């Protein structure tokens, strides 16, 4: 069984920088409290906990006078002010590409566009983008979400940074067709980040050359889920793996070539462990969780 890695996968610069910022602070002796996981990877969260970087759900969980970190996914524009008002110190590790989307949403609203955001309404990044629009942006996943929706004379479509590029393009085409027939001005801004585009393109190329694809990343990782989706759209079985125990030998039965990709918050060490475990299935070694 041959194992082939996607030519683009794993850590992106936004994730790497966010992790290093809080890691350096924690290792220097400054406890850091992150509002949710700094990135969506459980192994990273466990490593950071050992150097005094703690995950909390909200500002109420942060001890007075402590340092609180806004995660790479971003936050509403009023969060820093609320934290400072509580006597907390703040460090912002929002990915610069997410910051750009937040500002784009705010600018579009200021220009009197009805703003649509293609993405997951439960994701922190999307919730932050909507907040930056003053709560005026509407989150959609398909044209069906626009039933009974009345746009203004100007409509703009943007996207969560980790969305499926193919689905975004398809939605944009349908939206333009629907709005133009109504005499509505439409603006489409592709805010899917470059690392996401590169990784999705790479996994599609990989999927065409292998019998099965494994995407390594946390279950809460939106970009990892999109890698699985992209591979499946190419017609091959694809599975998401958060931990070694998720791997099943039956996935690889009869497979001559196995492809591996990884989400933007997956460290190289975890990718290597998954590859080693897959190889162990071939030689019949026991599987340990």
pLDDT at 39: 87
In order of start, what are the domains of the chain with their CATH numbers? Answer: 2-10+194-282 (3.40.1010.20), 13-94 (3.40.50.11270), 97-188 (3.40.1010.20)
56-76 pLDDT tens trace: 999 999 999 999 999 999 999
pLDDT digits (tens, 9 = 90+) for 6-35: 999 999 999 999 999 999 999 999 999 999
pLDDT digits (tens, 9 = 90+) for 104-128: 999 999 999 999 999 999 999 999 9
Residue 233 annotated in active site: no
CA distance 145 to 186: 17
pLDDT of 179 reads 95
Cα 181 to chain centroid, rounded: 34
The pLDDT tens digits for 157-212 are: 999 999 999 999 999 999 999 999 999 999 999 999 999 999 999 999 999 999 99
Contact assessment for residue 89 and residue 114, using Cβ atoms and an 8 Å cutoff: no
* Residue 95: pLDDT over 80: yes
* Residue of 2, 27, 49, 125 marked catalytic: 125
């Amino acid at each position: 069984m041959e194992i082939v890695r996607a030519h683009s996968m794993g850590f992106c610069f936004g994730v790497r920088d966010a992790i290093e910022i809080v890691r350096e602070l924690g290792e220097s002796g400054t406890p850091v409290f992150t509002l949710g996981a700094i990135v969506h990877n459980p192994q990273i969260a466990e490593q950071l906990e050992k150097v005094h970087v703690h995950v909390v759900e909200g500002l109420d969980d942060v001890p007075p006078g402590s340092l609180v970190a806004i995660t790479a996914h971003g936050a509403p524009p009023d969060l820093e002010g609320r934290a400072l008002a509580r006597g907390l110190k703040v460090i912002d590790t929002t990915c610069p590409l997410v910051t750009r989307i937040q500002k784009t949403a705010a600018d579009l609203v200021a220009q009197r566009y009805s703003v649509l955001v293609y993405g997951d309404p439960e994701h922190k990044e999307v919730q932050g983008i909507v907040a930056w629009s003053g709560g005026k942006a509407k989150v959609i996943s398909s044209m069906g979400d626009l039933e009974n929706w009345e746009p203004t004379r100007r409509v703009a479509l943007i996207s969560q940074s980790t969305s499926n590029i193919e689905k975004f393009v398809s939605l944009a085409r349908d939206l333009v067709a629907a709005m133009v027939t109504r005499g509505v001005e439409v603006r489409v801004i592709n805010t899917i980040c470059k690392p996401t585009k590169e990784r999705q393109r790479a996994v599609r190329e990989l999927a065409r050359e292998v019998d099965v694809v494994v995407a390594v990343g946390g279950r809460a990782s939106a970009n990892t889920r999109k890698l699985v989706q992209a591979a499946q759209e190419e017609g091959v079985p694809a599975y998401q793996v958060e931990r070694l125990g998720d791997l099943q030998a039956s996935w690889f039965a009869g497979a001559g070539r196995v492809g591996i990709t990884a989400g933007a918050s997956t460290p190289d060490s975890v990718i290597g462990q998954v590859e080693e475990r897959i190889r162990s299935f071939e030689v019949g070694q026991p599987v340990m969780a």
